[in-house]
Chains A and B, each alone.
Chain A
């Protein structure tokens, strides 16, 4: 599990160094030619309300500019997709129609979509507005995002976003809560700019 103290050394804020700007610019440049992504994920949630960590596995898909699909295959199949303003959530098999809704009109869906898109697109303008960015590692780069808003900082201490220049994609996301709970997501077998099957985001 990652903890805030682990990043105290060599940390550089966005405003603090030209090299930070350089890293962000490089990440930005790296993802600029990414049109779609397909990746496996492994999520581990360590929550105080649970006796054991919740582990889930599945596949993540992204297509420029505003499509994503988060499909859990293990332990219980379920999923969530966003296609522009439309969102759909299903439980069990993907053929289950589940429930559809507008992203704009569902606060939770909007929060999720905004976060994932910002990380995926390396949208540092959006991120900088909401978080203080600290570079914790230069190569491979790792960014620490500290919430600026009181509402979010009431629950979230910070996020850690790890990136791989080779893979041209995020390799890990860590969410660390004030309560000490954490969520760790690792992406693997990432494939960039490959053909995605039709209907993936419908």
Chain B
């Protein structure tokens, strides 16, 4: 004991408390009751937000920007007709659905393009011609200034005056007899976010004529799982009630994902926590064969309660992923009470002394695990940081309960302490060399396959995508093209004008590089004041000289022939002489075009961003590498985002592994101060990691964001078992302790194994990879450490 003065503190605690056990029990009960009370108001968060990067890194910024994309918060309902369904039936169904979208769940629903819905729109279109008058427009107008063209236009207008439409046409005809407003109207094609879509009776119709689309706006936030569930149920009810048989409706929206993920994760939670609790409890009872085994099980159970309560004291809500991680915590935190139980089970020893002795591996194992989890606090994923907090609290509580409370419970309560067998018969005696050869072969093969490991930064793989949603996604993509997969360019300025100027430059740059039709941009219809000045100047110059006189004469002469009075077009001639009005955002909105601007302009406190959409191709993305950042344009694309996350993933993985390994090496070095023991203690970690990545490489399982958590777990559990086993073999091999280590390993295996029962990809992925790691950790701790220890002793 003299070498372990610090650990003798626990003997001291044991001795002091043994006279006041009742206070200890009361205090413990009080803590558990308080934490249970905190849990009464638990707010669970099932959305994907904690799994996404935050902070100021590039991936986090890209993600925040991606959420501003048009359609990102909308609900899309695709109506597909059968072979005999008429297009009219489809659009009728869409109309009926749109009309039913009333109430608090919906703010707007459209089945066709939102055409300017204001009587001033046409007037606005005419007024905006000078401000958008480009070089190309000048050429087009010049072509219209022929006798034949003007004659045909005026005759058409004369006929229209007799129709009901003509009741409202007069002011427009007077101010724009040449129909120059079509120039502006053509520019509106740049605001059509679904270019492959066709129109039938002003409804969205797919190219094959078999699908129509209803686009719905909702006030329900996509992160609101309860609201999303109610919204989806309400929508589904409306569809069932309204859409006639023979027309299939499929719905996609972020809300559907939120609902699916929340539902799955809730059911996973029940499965995982109940299965892991029962399995761990049965394992403990099977090994310990005493009612006192229940006391051992009480430690991880209490840990779960206290860790969740502790997390809730730090965070407003706890992520469902974190709660599901409770099964992992159950599996890890029971290692310490199990070890204490086995140590105290030997009657010949003085419990006070045993507590001091067992404190060394338990405390070191626990602290090393805490430090390993601590590495995750550096993560830029809030979910991973919360997991770290949850695990650190859990392991800390487990250590306190195991070393301070449990020994008293085990010693003071009546009953015998048993375990599965007092003989070593449970362990087959295999030749050491065979173990080592097998181990070397497995490690060698794993290292060889580890090179094939692929990192995947696609967050979608962590999302629950039910078959129905997957089918709907696929269907909508087939029918309408990947319009939601555009790359988005953000032109950012300190105010609207500076952002518009950048947007103008961007449009000019883009139209030289990619077909103009592929660019969705506000620039052609809402240029900056600077560009407008240039356009207005061009307009004024065009109409200042012979063109004006020529067109005046042409209109008067041809107008006269068509029956128009000589003063009919005076307003137009006055427009040519007047100072053209500026195009303003307010005017844009007043003309009924607010919906478009809302989709493509975002304003924050001190900056304005204008969105431009372009195809998300490699060549487009490469146009906006870091060299163009100085232009004030930032490109965000799903492809680039995946790349960024993958890159960050590799970087994080290397950093975490490096840091965690550094932590455990320092920790075991302080504990053992012996190079041989240090290396031996690290063997389970190294074997677990190598086996894990090797098997993943071999089987083609990709490494995702949550496998980082899995890696940390493998390191944490591996170092625990390594420390326990090295302590055991170096203090003279004790079979009882080995049983404890085996049971600890098995409960971890079971606790983590239940994660593989999860349907949620993130949880399932952690489960599978950690199980792979533990397949390397547990055998190497139980067999390789004793074998290598024995081998080196024999050699010596």
Interface residues of A (CB under 8 A from B): 43, 45, 47-52, 54-56, 70, 72, 75-76, 78, 80, 84-86, 89, 91, 100-102, 104-109, 111-112, 116, 151, 155, 175, 181, 183
Contact = CB atoms under 8 A, between A and B. Distances in A.
B292 interface: no
B209 to A, nearest CB: 14
B605 interface: no
Contacts of A80: 163-165
B201 interface: yes
Most buried by A among B114, B120, B163, B565: B163
A111 B162 contact: no
A54 B201 contact: no
Contacts of A50: 158, 161, 563-565, 568
A70 B203 contact: no
B565 A56 contact: no
A105 B174 contact: no
Contacts of B567: 48-49
Given A51-B565, A85-B95, A108 B170 contact: no
A48 B565 contact: yes
Given A49-B568, A155-B171, 4 more contacts: A56-B162, A107-B117, A107-B119, A107-B121
Contacts of B111: 102
Contacts of A155: 171
Interface string B97-127: 0000000000000011111111111100000
Contacts of A181: 170
Contact of B165 (A51, A76, A89): A89
B165 A112 contact: yes
B563 A72 contact: no
A9 B173 CA distance: 37
A116 B164 CA distance: 10
Contacts of B118: 107
B213 to A, nearest CB: 14
Given A49-B173, A101-B201, A107-B592, A54 B162 contact: yes
A45 B166 contact: yes
B161 A47 contact: yes
Interface string B179-211: 000000000000000000000111100000000
Nearest to A70: B164
Interface string B146-169: 000000000000110111111110
A78 B168 contact: no
Nearest to A177: B170
Given A70-B164, A104-B117, A76 B159 contact: yes
A107 B168 CA distance: 10
A175 B167 contact: yes
A106 B116 CA distance: 8
B690 to A, nearest CB: 64
Contacts, number: 99
B273 to A, nearest CB: 52
Contact of A75 (B117, B122, B162, B173): B162
A112 B167 CA distance: 8
Contacts of A85: 95
Interface of B: 95, 111-122, 158-159, 161-168, 170-171, 173-174, 200-203, 560, 563-565, 567-569, 592
B564 A72 contact: no
Given A48-B567, A72-B163, A111 B115 contact: no
Contacts of A56: 162-163
A49 B163 contact: no
Query: Across chains A and B, which 5 residue pairs bring their CB atoms closest together, nearest first?
Result: A49-B568, A56-B162, A100-B201, A102-B202, A101-B202
Contacts of A76: 159, 162
Contacts of B592: 107
Given A47-B170, A181-B170, A78 B159 contact: yes
Nearest to A47: B170
A175 to B, nearest CB: 7
A105 B202 contact: yes
Contacts of B122: 107-108
A165 B157 CA distance: 37
Given A47-B170, A80-B164, A86 B114 contact: no
Contacts of B114: 105
B168 A108 contact: yes
Given A80-B165, A111-B119, A105 B201 contact: no
Best-surrounded residue of A48, A54, A101, A102 (most CB of chain B within 10 A): A102
Contacts of B158: 50, 54
Contacts of B563: 50-52
B110 to A, nearest CB: 8
A80 B39 CA distance: 67
A49 B174 contact: yes
Given A49-B174, A100-B202, A105 B161 contact: no
23 contacts: A45-B161, A49-B568, A50-B564, A51-B564, A54-B166, A72-B163, A76-B159, A80-B165, A84-B95, A89-B163, A91-B159, A100-B200, A101-B201, A105-B112, A105-B113, A105-B117, A105-B202, A106-B202, A108-B122, A108-B168, A112-B164, A181-B170, A183-B167
Contacts of A47: 161, 170
B112 A102 contact: yes
Contacts of B113: 105
Contacts of A54: 158, 161-162, 166
A59 to B, nearest CB: 13
Contacts of B161: 45, 47, 50, 54
Given A102-B202, A107-B117, A49 B165 contact: no
A159 B111 CA distance: 35
A176 to B, nearest CB: 12
Given A48-B565, A175-B167, A183-B167, A106 B162 contact: no
* B122, B164, B563, B568 interface centre (most CB from chain A within 10 Å): B164
Contacts of B201: 86, 100-102
Contacts of B163: 56, 70, 72, 78, 80, 89
A183 B95 CA distance: 35
Nearest to B570: A49
B105 to A, nearest CB: 20
Contacts of B164: 70, 80, 112, 116
B16 to A, nearest CB: 82
Nearest to A151: B119
A150 B161 CA distance: 24
Contacts of A101: 115, 201-202
Contacts of A102: 111-112, 201-203
A114 to B, nearest CB: 11
A111 B119 CA distance: 8
A111 B174 contact: no
A93 B559 CA distance: 26
B202 A108 contact: no
Interface centre among A49, A109, A111, A151 (most CB of B within 10 A): A49
Contacts of B173: 49
A171 B146 CA distance: 44
Contacts of B565: 48-51
A139 B197 CA distance: 55
A45 B568 CA distance: 15
Nearest to B164: A112
A91 B114 CA distance: 25
Contacts of A175: 167
A51 B560 CA distance: 8
Instruction: Pick the most buried of B116, B118, B174, B565: most chain A CB atoms within 10 A of its CB.
Output: B565
Nearest to A181: B170
Contacts of A48: 565, 567-568
